[in-house]
Amino acid sequence: MNIVVTGSIAYDYLMRFPGSFKEHILTEALHQVSLSFLVEDMTKHWGGVAANIAFTMARFGISPKLMGTAGRDFPDYRRWLSEAGVDTSTVKQIDSVFTASFFCNTDEENNQIASFYSGAMALANQYTLAEALNGAQPDLVVVSPNDPQAMSNLTQECRDNDYRFVYDPSQQVARLDGNTLRHDMQGAYLMIVNEYEAHLICDKTGMTMDDLRQTIDLLVITHGGEGSEIYTNGDRIHVPAFAPTEIKDPTGAGDAFRAGFFTGLAYDRPLEMAGAMGALCATYTLEHIGPQGHRYNINEYVERFRQHQDDQGQLDVLLKHTVTS
């Protein structure tokens, strides 16, 4: 499949707070918040939703085209992604700005407070699929969090050209208004959101959960450690999570789930298997620091999967595309 993953490309600055945020947030004084958290450490990682998704997909022998805008500090990141198997030819480097940056503070209960500097991502609304693909026809376009106008432009371009697309607003749900969310999801083949985001979309658009299920051909709602629910053709498929051996950092787990799910679709696996593949990808990410810190190969992945679930040989196709590093 010719898969194009659009969205943010960023550097992640991850911090760890040795306490609980909720112990320092006074609900009766939320109108005047002034808080500072002294963190124990800070690490810098490759990140951005689109780049995270593309990186994990490349572990499975798929070379998705990463489409987005990055700044003058991107060359090292481009080399990292290219060596991992990601097609970075469709990343536009803009030398007048820096690459977007994500600053995230995680407490001991894995709650997170984050800020995002858009940088080069703010110019993504000037970059089209037509320019990036130069006449090539994609089989699937993933529209993940990006500059809000860029997301609207890309979903419209997909509709205009009859491209099959995934609408993945996730972190941008808080920023987008109801009319934009309604507009951008129209015609989407698939939407993946977590439970909170699904309820927020309903609140902003005035839609019910049933409305969402009827609007989107394939709707996936993730529930963290409780697994995920796949809704399609009036059916609901529950997919359990894979328990992690430990949780080092939750950043990027949702992106990894998406990558595993898209990989399952690319290899024409049943929806339940695609969901299970996403679940295990998310677990690997939870067990490592940073959204691109996992280094398993496909043999290890399949072996671990089969220790917990009988795939009835459905993952044999992956073993032909082993990534060894």
Note the pLDDT tens digit of each residue in 259-314.
999 999 999 999 999 999 999 999 999 999 888 988 888 999 999 999 999 999 99
pLDDT of residue 71: 97
Note the pLDDT tens digit of each residue in 75-132.
999 999 999 999 999 999 999 999 999 898 999 888 888 888 899 999 999 999 999 9
Report the percentage of the chain scoring pLDDT > 90. Answer: 78
pLDDT of residue 116: 82
CA nearest to 280, candidates 231, 300, 83: 300
Output b/e per residue, 96-117; b: 16+ Cβ within 10 A. ebbbbbbebbbbeeeebeeebe
Answer yes or no: are the C-beta atoms of 91 and 77 closer than 8 Å.
no
pLDDT of residue 228: 97
- 178-185 vs 148-161: helix crossing angle, rounded to 10: 30
Q: Could you tell me the pLDDT band of residue 251, with boundaries at 50, 70 and 90?
A: confident
pLDDT at 322 over 80: no
The CA distance from 107 to 38, in Å, is: 11
pLDDT of residue 320: 77
The CA distance from 56 to 129, in Å, is: 22
pLDDT at 32 over 90: no
The mean pLDDT of 61-84, rounded to a whole number, is 96
Q: What is the DSSP string of 110-156?
A: S-EEEEEE-GGGGGGGG--HHHHHTT---SEEEE-S--HHHHHHHHH
pLDDT at 221 over 90: yes
CA angle (168 as vertex; 205, 243 as ends), nearest 5: 115
| Spans of all domains in the chain | 3-19+40-306
**Environment class of residue 235 by beta-carbon count within 10 Å: exposed (0-12), middle (13-18) or buried (19+)?**
exposed
pLDDT of residue 321: 63
pLDDT of residue 15: 92
Q: Could you tell me the pLDDT band of residue 27, with boundaries at 50, 70 and 90?
A: confident
The two structure tokens encoding residue 247: 């949780």
The two structure tokens encoding residue 49: 């939703």
Active site residue 217: no
**55: which strand partners?**
none
From the candidates 41, 249, 255, 310, give the one annotated as an active-site residue: 255
pLDDT of residue 180: 97
Classify the C-alpha dihedral 185-99-118-260 as positive or negative. positive
- 253-266 vs 49-58: helix crossing angle, rounded to 10: 50
CA nearest to 6, candidates 77, 70, 67, 92: 67
Look-up of token digits 């690319």: 266
pLDDT at 323 over 60: no
Note the pLDDT tens digit of each residue in 124-157.
999 999 999 998 999 999 999 999 999 999 999 9
The two structure tokens encoding residue 108: 């001991």
Average pLDDT, the chain: 93
The mean pLDDT of 28-39, rounded to a whole number, is 81
pLDDT of residue 63: 93
pLDDT of residue 33: 78
Q: Could you tell me the pLDDT band of residue 34, with boundaries at 50, 70 and 90?
A: confident
Q: Note the CATH number of domain 3-19+40-306.
A: 3.40.1190.20
Q: Could you tell me the pLDDT band of residue 179, with boundaries at 50, 70 and 90?
A: very high
pLDDT of residue 200: 96
pLDDT at 185 over 60: yes
pLDDT of residue 30: 74
Answer yes or no: are the C-beta atoms of 191 and 176 closer than 8 Å.
no
The mean pLDDT of 310-320, rounded to a whole number, is 91
The mean pLDDT of 238-259, rounded to a whole number, is 93
